[in-house]
């Protein structure tokens, strides 16, 4: 009789805030969110306006069983300010896909929509999964922003090399959901979830 391997450490009790920006890689984020939920993570999704052009909020609502946050002006309840409360309850914020636009906003201190405001007011660690055209990734401004983010404690995963939706080949593809899940699991398990503190 074969013995099965012990199950992976559970992520039950952890909360993740997944911020989805406008890029074709947003479809991969749906797979990542599904995998996180299956691992026991409570997932809340926030989306930019451009992200909603690629994947609809209904997809993430079905995967998480929670409403999707799309605006600073629609509060889930009258007591909490949404752009602060969402990150206060999260153990980790994951930005996937992270566009050149959101990297520039974060390094420039710009908070002009829900996602950029959440990131500027983050009350937990932030993991960033860049995804963009190769030329955009290699642009000196993007590389300057990436260096600043790393120097200031942000965790960046990827991007990977490969064929992109535009047909170009090179660095810029968002890391696969399995890769991101492994990094998220490693980061979460370094501390107890906020719900147990």
Do 184 and 17 form a contact (C-beta atoms < 8 A)? no
Long-range contacts of 59-66 (CB under 8 A, 24+ apart): 59/30, 60/18, 60/20, 60/30, 60/33, 63/30, 63/33, 63/34, 63/37, 64/33, 64/37, 65/37, 66/42
- Tokens coding 91: 């153990």
Residues with a catalytic annotation lie at 166
Is residue 20 within 8 A of residue 51, CB to CB? The reply is yes
Q: At what angle do helices 26-38 and 57-64 cross, to 10 degrees?
A: 10
Q: Is residue 13 classed exposed, middle or buried when 0-12, 13-18 and 19+ CB atoms within 10 A define those classes?
A: middle
* Alpha helices for the chain (secondary structure H): 26-38, 57-64, 82-88, 100-108, 114-120, 134-138, 140-151, 177-188
């Amino acid at each position: 009789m074969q013995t099965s391997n012990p199950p992976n450490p559970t992520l039950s009790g952890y909360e993740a805030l997944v911020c989805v920006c406008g890029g074709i890689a947003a479809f991969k984020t749906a797979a990542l969110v599904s995998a996180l939920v299956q691992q026991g993570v409570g997932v809340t999704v926030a989306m930019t306006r451009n992200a909603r052009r690629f994947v609809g909020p209904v997809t993430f609502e079905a995967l998480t069983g929670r409403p999707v946050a799309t605006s600073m002006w629609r509060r889930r309840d009258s007591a909490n300010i949404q752009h602060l409360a969402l990150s206060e309850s999260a153990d980790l914020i994951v930005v996937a896909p992270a566009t050149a636009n959101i990297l520039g906003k974060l390094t420039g201190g710009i908070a002009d929509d829900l996602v950029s405001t959440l990131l500027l007011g983050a009350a937990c660690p932030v993991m960033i999964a860049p995804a963009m055209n190769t030329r955009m990734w290699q642009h000196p401004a993007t590389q300057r922003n990436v260096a600043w983010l790393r120097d200031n404690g942000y965790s960046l995963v990827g991007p990977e090399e490969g064929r992109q939706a535009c047909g170009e080949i090179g660095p810029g593809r968002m890391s696969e959901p399995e890769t991101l899940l492994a990094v998220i699991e490693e980061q979460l398990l370094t501390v107890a979830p906020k719900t147990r503190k």
